Amino acid sequence: MTDDVVLVERDGAVAVVTLNRPKQLNALSDEVMEALVSRLVELDADNEIRCIVVAGNERAFAAGADIAMLAQTTPVEAATSARLARWDAIRKIGKPVVAAVSGYCLGGGCELAMVCDLIVASETAQFGQPEINLGVIPGAGGTQRLTRAVGKAVAMDVILSGRFLTAREALDAGLVARVVAKEAWFDEARRVARAIGEKSPVAVRLAKAAVNRAHEESLQLGVEYERQAFALALASEDAREGLAAFLEKRKPDFRGR
Amino acid sequence: MSLVAEVETRRDGAVLQITLNRPEVFNAFNAALHAALAVALKEARDDEIRAVVITGAGRGFCAGQDLTEFSEVADDIRARLESTYHPNIRAIRTLEKPVIAAINGAAAGAGLSLACACDIRIASDAASFVPGFIGIGLVPDSGGSYFVHRLLGTARAFEWMTSNRKLSAAEGHLWGLVNEVVEAERLLERATEVATLYASLPTRGIGMTKRLFDHADTATLEEQLALEAQLQQAATQTADFREGVNAFLEKRPPRFSGA
């Protein structure tokens, strides 16, 4: 059903969620965001899926918000609408989400990539928060997440001047985890997802939550969370299996419990 | 609007010949020439084109910036370089096909940079290479400092580019600046011959090889190995790979489509 604005493909323990509005460079309309969140929430609850990839197409991951829609939005709507809840819902997904970025990753698209857990980028990827050109500012976490990712200096340059970061710059600045040849971005994202999918899902979930604490909270609180998460991981069957397998010099068989 | 285009293009099978066409000023760059070259390089991206030849009309290859129109450029040369010269240099490097400079005469300044931005240089025995920039107190631009340095190595590149000495085609060949020197009358014929050969080879493999070599100067071994592996994966998925292997097994010459 290629009319769907969001497509889902399953490949073993990996689910690939593809934004499908290529003519609009995957501009994030209400329809797209609603469908994206619904799919992510479904996959988060699906026991067979261990890692999710979110991707666009070669030309664009997502080139921003739906501008026509934005032009119709009132300030009150902007502050209170269901749109905000969708971003929170993505952040709340417990399973790891890998953003596979090729081409334009701008505005809301960049914010979407940053709310995912890690970004794998094509050498053609371009990252930016050009909302300033429209007389507004990033409104879906861009000012917060970009600054945390790349530091104040680079974030100010990107957000105030509207300039884009190349894939290489984004890698050097800490925004993306991997940059590969433009023929290899989709494959690379799936490889990363598969590798994550082979680990203990219990440990992955706890590790993701712990890293997010480091990203979002104070060190002391984060360390305390990590300690509890560690103990919880250790209590899992998967941990007993993982440790035993190591000592017995064999591959572990993680069951997700 | 001029009656004759500043850049002419001609298709011959899968080869696109791009001719800089301001022979009265040795094909010096002005705004119109930049714009016309940009259009020609865009045409080179058509799938049917598998090799490109860039040459100059008349006695010169390209004399660089047209100084009589320099006032066009001098105020904010940074912005002008970015809006006119750089896009064409980038277009040549990112075009995933072989680009052959058929250097029919003097290549000076940004004309030298243009020649050096190409993948292969075939020079007429009447051609010459002139740094140019330093002669009016400027630095190499349009990639000249990058490409000349890469081709000649630091020692020669610095000494030559700052001396402003004219280099003959023979010297250029000796130094590795030029791949081949041919008699002036035969230049275009030879360049076309070479381009036609390239146009019959696996275009995608050539394009990816071009990118690999562009990365090689600054990549570490590890980075290069990783890039090779990624591109090899893509190469094995091309039709020309399958054709190459099949032709070998069937003991016949391959017929590469470029896909």
How large a percentage of chain B has pLDDT more than 90? 93
**Average pLDDT of chain B, as a whole number:** 95
Mean pLDDT across the stretch B200-205? 98
**How confident is the model at residue B1, as a pLDDT?**
46
**Predicted pLDDT at A94:** 97
B254 assigned to some structural domain: no
**A131 contact B CB<8A:** no
From the list A43, A29, A47, the residue with the least C-alpha distance to A255 is A47
* Residue A216 appears among annotated catalytic residues: no
Rounded CA gap, A59 and A186, in Å? 12
Mark which of B199, B217, B238 sits at the end of a domain. B199
Model confidence pLDDT, tens digit, residues B36-73: 999 999 999 999 999 999 999 999 999 999 988 877 66
Are B191 and B209 contained in the same domain? no
B117 shares a domain with B104: yes
Q: Is the domain of B238 the same as that of B190?
A: no
Domains (range + CATH), chain A: 6-197 (3.90.226.10), 201-247 (1.10.12)
Does one domain contain both B108 and B225? no
Average pLDDT rounded to a whole number, residues B93-110: 98
> Residue B27 domain-assigned?
yes
The pLDDT value given to residue A38: 97
> Is A224 annotated in the active site?
no
B211, B226, B233 member nearest A187 (Cβ): B233
Q: Tell me, yes or no, whether B148 and B211 share the same domain.
A: no
For residues B205 and B56, the answer to whether their CB atoms sit within 8 Å is: no
Whether residue B178 lies inside any domain: the answer is: yes
> Is pLDDT of B124 > 80?
yes
Write down the pLDDT at residue A82.
Answer: 85
Determine the Cα–Cα distance for residues B257 and B49; give it in Å rounded to an integer.
Answer: 11
Q: Is the pLDDT of residue A187 over 80?
A: yes
* Active-site hit among A131, A140, A203, A229: A131
Question: What pLDDT does A206 receive?
Answer: 97
Answer for the pair A100, A186: CB distance below 8 angstroms, yes or no.
Answer: yes
Whether residues B124 and B86 share a domain: the answer is: yes
Per-residue pLDDT reduced to its tens digit, A210-239: 999 998 999 999 999 999 999 999 999 999
Q: Is B173 helix (H, G, I), strand (E, B) or coil?
A: helix
SS3 A20: coil
Q: Does B230 touch chain A (CB under 8 A)?
A: yes
B139 located within any domain: yes
Contacts of A184 in chain B (CB under 8 A): 230-231, 233-234
Same domain, B117 and B221: no
Whole-number pLDDT of residue B160: 97
For the stretch A19-56, pLDDT in tens is 999 999 999 999 999 999 999 999 999 999 999 999 99
Largest CA distance in chain A: 63
Indicate if B182 and B215 belong to the same structural domain.
no
pLDDT at A100 over 60: yes
Residues B215, B176, single domain; the answer is no
Residue from B48, B56, B61 nearest B15 by CA: B48
Q: What is the mean pLDDT of residues A155-174?
A: 98
Report whether B119 contacts B98 (CB < 8 A).
Answer: yes
In this structure, are B221 and B180 located in the same domain?
no
Instruction: Tell me if B16 is assigned to some domain.
Output: yes
Write out the H or E segment, with its range, that includes residue B70: none
Is B148 inside a domain boundary? yes
Residue B162: inside a domain: yes
pTM for this prediction: 0.90
- Token readout for B208 is 């990816």
Q: Which domain holds residue B107?
A: 7-199
A111 is catalytic: yes
> ipTM of this model?
0.83
> In chain A, which residue ranges form alpha helices assigned H by DSSP?
30-44, 67-72, 75-80, 82-91, 108-115, 142-150, 152-161, 167-173, 185-197, 201-216, 219-234, 237-247
The count of domains in chain B is: 2
